[in-house]
Structure 1
Amino acid sequence: MNRFIKDMKRYFAYAKFAARADLKAEVASSYLNWLWWVLDPLLFMMVYTFIAIVVFRSSVQYFPLFVFVGLTLWNFFNKTVIQSVKLVRNNSSIVSKVYVPKYILILQRMMVNGFKMLVSFGLIAIMLIIYRVPLTWNIIYMIPVMIVLALFTFGLSCIVLHFGVFVDDLYNVMNVVLRLMFYMSGIFYSIGTKLSEPYRSILLKCNPVSMLIESARRCMLYSSLPYRKLIVLWGIVSVLLCWIGVKTIYKYENSYVKVM
């Protein structure tokens, strides 16, 4: 733990600098520049809203916001985890020349994806005003929701980063797993109301992303309490995942260059 804290203090500035450089490089050759960070989730929201309302006749209250909240949290989780699989190989020019704790590369990606998530939350704030969604003090629960999401994403990303160095096919496997997880996370339907038991409880208890998305919607859109016990439970599990992931990276990171 002491080594982790010291390394975080030492390399945190590098992670911020690298994340800023990645964001600038990402829009350098684009005509829309940073506007694409706004248009990307907005267009996806419009597509899913059209399909659900026009095709499947969904009557969910505040449905565009309902979808947008789910997509915002999902994109942060999904992009960070899938990018972590090949993170060491994609940064081989850095890893092979200077020492950087490999989980710092994950922190860098989380900063990039986290910035895009903040842009989406800015749009959500505007839409809350447009749709006149009544806000209550329950919105404060978004703080633990986001903390648990960040911890779970970091812990899982550390684990897939490690195995991604040794297993070339892990990227393809994770693509399939995350696609399945996408449809089981209730991005464009409500697990809490659309599914019956025992499927509702299984998905909410065993899929932390679906539980966090449902919790975010409840406290932001519907003035309800989130799933507080599950948030605490998965917060503990996420801390354990982080500990396992960081410890595994420290133990084997010297062999990553040899494998590459």
Structure 2
Amino acid sequence: MFIEVREIFNYRHMLISMVQRELRSRYKGSFLGFLWTFVNPLLQLAVYSIVFPYILRVDQENYPMFLFVALLPWIFFTSSIQNATTSVLGSANLVTKIYFPRIILPLSSVCTNLMNYIYSLVIVIPALLITGVDLTINLLWFPLILLIEFLFALGLALAFSALHVKFRDAAHIIGIVIFCWFYITPIVFPMTIFPETMQQYIMLNPMVAIIEAFRDIFLFGQQPNFSALIYSALVSLATLIIGFFVFKNFEKTFAEDL
């Protein structure tokens, strides 16, 4: 793994170039261009803010911000996985013609969505201030929480991108899994909506502690739940290691399968 990290560092300019190209091409030719980075989550926020508080009677103070600070990292997470899943297959010509660390392909997808999420903070911070939320020093925990989520997303991205080359139905299955995953993660509703007997099982979902940690530092101005966050960090590291070895194992037959 350390050799691979060193190799990625040696090809860092290629990685940066791929991320820049993806960011430029994602909205190339569209009228709003890069503004779609903000429009898409804002539209989701508007829909969820109407449906859940008023139709489903979710009673939560400052619900739009309660939702917003959780929805954006979730979009980063799911977009990273879905884009990375098809990254190797979508670059078949590149993979079969020249040598470079193949791991750069799913990594660039995750990094691209990471940049989109960071850009979205341009909206989050002013929105929190406008709605009367006081930002505190606990925002300093943001890089740590984001790193844990990044490692978790990258681990899954590595595994799924490799599996998709061999099993072409993987992308469809992953889409269904992510759809279900959304509703067992407290994004559009608080954890208290679940019965206490279920909450301990819901907490086994590593994204729960990550989402709750973002809410703690942005919305509630408090430290994250470190015991829960450590659990998510350990799962993220384990996922990254497993994803790395799955990718390296399947990488041997990429040329044949593509």
TM-score by length of 2: 0.94
Matched, 1:220 2:185: no
The unaligned stretches of length 5 or more in structure 1 are: none
Task: Give the 3-state SS of the residue equivalent to 1:96 in structure 2.
Answer: helix
How far the C-alpha of 1:7 sits from its partner, in A, is 1.1
**Gaps spanning 5+ residues in structure 2: where?**
none
Q: Does 1:127 align with 2:102?
A: no
Whether the aligned pair in 2 keeps the contact of 1:190 and 1:214 (CA below 8 Å) is no
**Partners of 2:13 and 2:244 in 1: CA distance:** 19
User: Would the aligned equivalents of 1:81 and 1:153 in 2 still touch at CA under 8 Å?
Assistant: yes
Superposed CA deviations along residues 36-60 of structure 1, whole A, max 9, x for unmatched, are: 1111111110110011222123331
User: Within 2, Cα distance between the matches of 1:159 and 1:74?
Assistant: 19
Structure 2 CA distance, aligned partners of 1:139 and 1:2? 31
Rounded Cα–Cα distance in structure 1 between residues aligned with 2:21 and 2:143: 28
1:200 aligns with 2:199: yes
Instruction: Describe the superposition over 1:17-72 as per-residue Cα deviations: whole angstroms up to 9, x where unpaired.
Output: 11111111122210111111111111110110011222123331221111111211
Deviations 1:134-153 (A, max 9, x none): 22222222222111100100
- TM-score normalized by structure 1? 0.94
Residues 166-205 of structure 1 correspond to what in structure 2 (within 5 A)? Answer: 166-191=166-191, 193-204=192-203
Q: Secondary structure at the residue paired with 1:188?
A: coil
1-side partners of 2:188 and 2:246: how far apart?
36
In the TM superposition, residue 115 of structure 1 has moved relative to its aligned partner by: 1.6
In 1, Cα distance between equivalents of 2:4 and 2:188: 38
Match of 1:53 in 2: 53
2:100, 2:81 → 1: CA distance? 19
What is the distance in 2 between the residues matched to 1:121 and 1:209?
A: 20
1:96-135 matched pairs, under 5 angstroms: 96-135=96-135
Paired AA for residue 6 in structure 2: K
2:232: which partner in 1? 234
Distance 2:37 2:211 in 1: 21
Q: By how many angstroms is 1:100 displaced?
A: 2.3
Root-mean-square deviation (Å)? 1.5
**Is 1:67 equivalent to 2:67 in the alignment?**
yes
Q: Is the 8 A contact 2:85 2:106 kept in 1?
A: no
Distance 1:57 1:240, change over 3 A: closer
Could you tell me whether the CA contact under 8 Å between 1:16 and 1:111 is conserved in 2? no
Indicate the SS of the match to 2:201: helix
In 2, distance between residues paired with 1:222 and 1:201?
22
Distance of 1:249 and 1:173 partners within structure 2? 18
Amino-acid identity (%):
24
